[in-house]
Chain A
Amino acid sequence: MGDKADVWQGTLALMVLKTLEMMGPLHGYGIARRIEQTSGDLLILNYGTLYPALLKLEQEGAIEAEWGTSANNRKAKFYNLTRAGRKQLATEARNWEQTTTILARFLSPTDGPA
């Protein structure tokens, strides 16, 4: 367990948005599984924490929800990215890339221009 990382505050929303962009409409359980898989099982996700995050995104208008039927024929609430959500994803992804680039330069200065 020691080498698995907890999800950082704030990054969960970004992961959810990216997942929805990649997969299209998906229910909460599916999103949780997908995030774990994408992380190569490096992340441990407390599935319960996903739901308040989904609600918050819904309140922000980034996603919308609709009841539907899952692949295994179970009733489930499906979340879908809205137009505002796509915009938010784009912005946040860019921000995140910038942050990581900057941090990467700090952490491995030898790679920098001499």
Chain B
Amino acid sequence: MKRLRVLMRRLAGIVPSACREQELAAEIDSHLQMHIDDNLRAGMTPEEARRQAMVTLGGVETTKQAYRDQSTVPFVETILQDLRFGVRQLRRNPGFTMTAILMLAVGMGASVAIFAFVDAALIKPLPYLNPTRLVDVTESVALFGPANLSYPDYLDWKKNNTVFSSMDVYTGAGYMLPSAKGSELVPGMRVTDGFFRTLGITPVLGRDFYAGEDLPSAPKTVMLSYAVWQKRYAGRKDVIGQTVALSGVPYTIVGVLPQSFQFARRNNAEFWTTFHAAGSCDLRRSCHSLLGVARLKDGVTIQAARADMKTIAQQLERVYPDSNRGQGASVMALSEAFVGDIRPILLTLLGGAGLLLLIACVNVASLLLVRSENRRREIAVRGALGASRARLSRQFITEGLLLVAIGSLLGVASAFGGIRLLLHLLSKDMMRRMPYFDVLGLNFRVMAFAGGVAVLAAIVFSLTPMLRLSVMNVREGLAEGARGSAGVLWRRLGSHLVVVELAIAIVLLVSAGLLGKSFYRLLHVDLGFQPDHLATLSVALPEVQYAKEEQQTLVARQIIDKVSALPGVKSAAITTVLPVSGNGNTDWIRFVGRPYDGKHIEINDREVSPGYFTTIQARLLRGRYFTDEEDKTKPRVVVINEAFAKKYFPGEDPLGKSFGGTDLSPKSMRRIIGIVEDVKEASLDRETWPTEYQSYNQNPDTFYNLVVRTSQAEQSVLPSLSATIGRIDPGIGTVDEATMIERINDSQTAYLHRSSAWLVGGFAVLALLLGVMGLYGVIAYSVGQRTREIGVRMALGAQRSTVYRLILTEAGWLTGWGILTGMICAVGAGTLMRSLLFETVAWDATTLLTVSTVLAAAAMLASYIPARRAASVNPVEALRAE
């Protein structure tokens, strides 16, 4: 208690107080006076009286210092002294201070912001119970690796495996709900009974699904997402037990999911229903529409689980060769499956930000070196006056810490802003697929990262000037104008640092160039159709009312006719899968009169209306498109793409040839009537697979996309589309209205390429700026050091051009080395990120050449300024100066 009180008083005493000093002086003074009075009375001479008083006191300054030490905490006091001195030093040199702090803040800000994203996506565990034990389980096929599961296969996998404590499947669903505009298609998810137990999620209200509740015989039940419970049911507790009609089918609400629940695969799902296998797909072993999630038993590794699943898949291949030939198994960590494509991008960005940070640190370090060089005399004087090496070191450390502290604070603040900014750049659709970015912020791990960077920076910045200190010799430092070995050492070190900086700048510039070029190539890839002036909208027919195929074709014709008649619309058509939305939605086929070994021939399958190809302006190579008369009553016909023709009819004319399903049943047989140039069905950066287009009228469906060619701006037509469909039947759901250009630009591929190109580009520009500033610093310093030498040279008759050459040669060497090293590293970096490059190689000559030209030009400009100063040196003044 007493100790605490003393400590508080002493801490309070740290605040310097003139009043306290005066009082102390007065007290000591009065003490001496009284003592002297006594001494005089004892008969001493005035001098003796004074001397005796002083001796007995033990020295005025010693007493005062002992008193001060007691009145504050001496250790803190010296640190504060150092700090005050440090701040003064930094303020005396605002140019240096601002530059150093800004560089640090930029480097810190960029790397901390990017790290926050990396943390959210790659480091932070998924929000489930023991998330590392969860795996993503799917079938896999040779054509594209992990693919969907079929329900019968899932049942066998679940029954026969020995590695999972539980395994469940889920699939996306769309449910029609009545809305103000007519019908609204809301996203949902169909899951098997144990889905939430496998994840370790318990509902906040109501109950989880019972075992067996997903079977066709059980009553239909649904769980609500928290958001929907709030939005549609105003968070009322009595929703449990209520019935909701989803696409006209009644479901009983049994539970509400927690607010924190997220599921990256389909995070916007509003209704989570029990699976209830039904319809043509669910019970067919060859219809793959599900994804699996499983929890590993204790002690089972992912590799072991994968091996077990592969064995089961092989058994199924033997038992069901028709449907399961070539269907393997894929097991991977759930986190890996969720993160997918963005991992390499995030790592590239983190690398870029790290390089920027490095360049910033190198720059600040070399600035500190220059400064310590300039403070040679000050340090020497302080050393000569008795400051110990430790005390001098402490001063440097304090100054380094001060810089880092201010820079880090600014850096973290700007990182916070940077995160907000980057989040704004993410589209809504992207955010839905990356729910882990919802809770992005400066959490513990991010702050620890920032702290770690700051500590490293602090170590570098306090060590750099101390390095200088250790080679310094007091006498040499005091000697005015002396050029010792230290100057040479610094110049070598400084030059090396500049080469490093320039090399890093090159790496970042080249990376940005490569990514930029990839993005340009991506946006200018040949789509095989005209994407401008195309409006699109997804349409879902309620399955109950439109159960018959005739009804489906009839309403599709109506929709196309009504929409085509809208003002500003040239033509309208439908397709079951929009272009550029990705390969997939495949069919297995078999050719007539060719040997068949049971190995699946897998192709993209799309059903389109007769006017589809003319509407999107695809290019017909041979044959013809569908006619409106070709419906269920006519023999089946098909249009194939060029990739199909090249792969399966090399050197043959496909026109008139037929193919069918794997069983070659007469019903499945279809004749090729036309070949179109490849329409980009795949995402932008992928090859389009062989594709067949069937006539919608011969093979209708309840879900398709309306594609509309407009004569005016396509955005202006969008709102009238769903209204027109609503007038035909308010029960038809519409969703996702967007122009084709928007779809392409917002596609994940385009987005990822765009964001990485822009961000790395931004880093590269900053790096160029920092690198060139570093070069300028070194050359300017070198010129400053050599003023006298240049003066002598000029006095001896050297021309200005010779001086220019002298300085520019030095800069040229540094730049040359920087570019050379940078180029080698850049090709390496480019190779590392080749998965992000599109039709661009790591050693792309134009990029390398452009970057080196830009850097060389910038470097020459930066060194021209000091060179000019050197050339305009007045020899007389230069010689007199020192």
Contacts and interface: CB of A to CB of B under 8 A. Distances in A.
Interface of A: 27-30, 33, 46-49, 51-52, 55-56, 59-61, 70, 72, 74-77
Interface stretch (B3-11, B184-192, B415-423): B3-11
Interface string B22-53: 01101110110111011000000000000000
B30 A51 contact: no
Interface in B827-860: none
A48 B10 CA distance: 20
B2 A28 contact: no
A79 B67 CA distance: 16
B27 A51 contact: yes
Nearest to A53: B70
A70 B57 CA distance: 19
Contact of B5 (A27, A29, A60, A74): A60
A48 B54 CA distance: 9
A48 B66 contact: yes
Given A29-B35, A52-B67, A74-B30, 15 more contacts: A27-B30, A27-B31, A30-B34, A47-B31, A48-B57, A49-B63, A49-B66, A51-B27, A60-B6, A61-B2, A72-B37, A74-B33, A75-B30, A76-B27, A77-B23
B56 interface: yes
The 5 closest A-B pairs by CB, nearest first: A48-B63, A48-B58, A52-B70, A59-B9, A46-B58
Nearest to A28: B31
B34 A72 contact: yes
Contacts of B38: 33
B755 interface: no
B61 to A, nearest CB: 10
A46 B58 CA distance: 6
Contacts of B23: 77
Contacts of A29: 30-31, 34-35
A86 to B, nearest CB: 15
Contact of B34 (A59, A61, A70): A70
A107 to B, nearest CB: 32
B202 to A, nearest CB: 58
Given A47-B58, A60-B5, A74 B34 contact: yes
A51 to B, nearest CB: 5
A55 B34 CA distance: 20
19 contacts: A27-B34, A29-B30, A29-B35, A47-B35, A48-B59, A51-B27, A51-B66, A52-B66, A55-B67, A56-B70, A60-B2, A60-B5, A61-B2, A70-B34, A72-B37, A74-B37, A75-B26, A76-B31, A76-B34
Nearest to B62: A48
Nearest to B63: A48
B71 interface: yes
A49 B66 CA distance: 8
A12 to B, nearest CB: 13
A77 B30 contact: yes
B336 interface: no
A74 B30 CA distance: 7
Contacts, number: 72
A74 B38 CA distance: 12
Contacts of B2: 60-61
A56 B271 CA distance: 72
Contacts of B56: 46-47
Nearest to B31: A29
B10 A51 contact: no
A113 B10 CA distance: 50
Interface of B: 2, 5-6, 9-10, 23-24, 26-28, 30-31, 33-35, 37-38, 56-59, 62-63, 66-67, 69-71
B314 to A, nearest CB: 83
A59 B37 contact: no
A89 to B, nearest CB: 14
A61 B5 contact: yes
Contacts of B70: 52, 55-56, 59
B30 A76 contact: yes
Contact of B63 (A30, A51, A74): A51
Nearest to A71: B34
A49 B31 contact: no
A46 B66 CA distance: 12
Most buried by A among B26, B28, B30: B30
A28 B63 CA distance: 13
B37 A47 contact: no
Looking at A28, A47, A56, A70, the one whose CB has the most chain B CB atoms below 10 A away is A47
Contacts of A30: 34
Contacts of A74: 30, 33-34, 37
A51 B28 contact: yes
Nearest to B27: A77
Nearest to A30: B34
B66 A28 contact: no
A29 B63 CA distance: 13
Which of A46, A59, A76 has the most chain B CB within a 10 Å cutoff? A59
A27 B27 CA distance: 9
Contacts of A51: 24, 27-28, 63, 66-67
Nearest to B58: A48
A77 B57 CA distance: 16
A47 B57 contact: yes
A72 B34 CA distance: 8
A70 B70 CA distance: 26
A52 B65 CA distance: 9
Contacts of B30: 27, 29, 70, 74-77
A70 B27 CA distance: 12
Contacts of B66: 48-49, 51-52
A13 to B, nearest CB: 12
Contacts of B69: 52
Contacts of A52: 66-67, 69-70
Contacts of A49: 58, 63, 66
Contacts of A75: 26, 30
A85 to B, nearest CB: 11
B465 to A, nearest CB: 36
A104 B243 CA distance: 95
A28 B58 CA distance: 14
A75 B35 CA distance: 13
A45 B71 CA distance: 21
Nearest to B69: A52
A59 B10 contact: yes
Contacts of B35: 29, 47
A16 to B, nearest CB: 14
Contacts of A46: 56-58
Contacts of A48: 57-59, 62-63, 66
Contacts of B62: 48
A29 to B, nearest CB: 4
Contacts of B28: 51
Contacts of B24: 51
Contacts of B37: 72, 74
B5 A55 contact: no
Nearest to B32: A29
Contacts of A60: 2, 5-6
B528 to A, nearest CB: 87
B380 to A, nearest CB: 35
A5 B38 CA distance: 24
Nearest to B37: A72
A56 B63 CA distance: 14
A7 to B, nearest CB: 12
A75 B34 CA distance: 10
A41 B499 CA distance: 76
Nearest to A55: B70
A53 B268 CA distance: 72
Nearest to B41: A72
Contacts of B71: 55
A103 B37 CA distance: 42
Given A51-B66, A72-B34, A28 B27 contact: yes
A47 B67 CA distance: 12
B33 to A, nearest CB: 6
B632 to A, nearest CB: 101
